[in-house]
Amino acid sequence: QVQLVESGGGLVQAGSSLGLSCVASGRIFSMYPMGWFRQAPGKEREFVAGISWSGGNIAYADSVKGRFTISRDNAKNTVYLQMNSLKPEDTAVYYCAAARFRYTNEFTRPSDFDSWGRGTQVTVSS
């Protein structure tokens, strides 16, 4: 498994932007797809965005499409999530995740991932 550490969460007003980072260690980062999930109080963990090992394939949840951007820097073992036009309903704990299998094209379901960070809180006030 890989160790993942998220950073960048915080409290912002609606309409603001926020960037999250996740640094990975423990295995060859560049071989594995990465993803971001979130979990709001009383709700299940949901997929936000995923990116293939090369960065060539990207997927977003419909709720964030056009507002959030996922990217990765394999030289820095880091995956990013840039969040723009934030809404109160984006409030959640955001988790970084590393895919279970190398070079897979499956990276949108929680079961596709076997390593998770501790999460970082994002709160958007209205």
Mind listing the pLDDT tens digit for each residue in 5-64? 999 999 999 999 999 999 999 888 999 999 999 999 999 999 999 999 999 999 999 999
The predicted structure's pLDDT at residue 1: 74
Structure tokens at 35: 């993803």
The residue type at 8:
G
Q: Which long-range contacts (CB under 8 A, 24 or more apart) does 74-77 make?
A: 74/29, 74/30, 76/23, 77/23, 77/24, 77/25, 77/29
Mind listing the pLDDT tens digit for each residue in 89-118? 999 999 999 999 999 999 999 999 999 999
Average pLDDT for the chain: 96
- Residues 92, 125: Cα–Cα separation, whole Å: 12
Element holding 72 (H helix, E strand)? strand 68-73
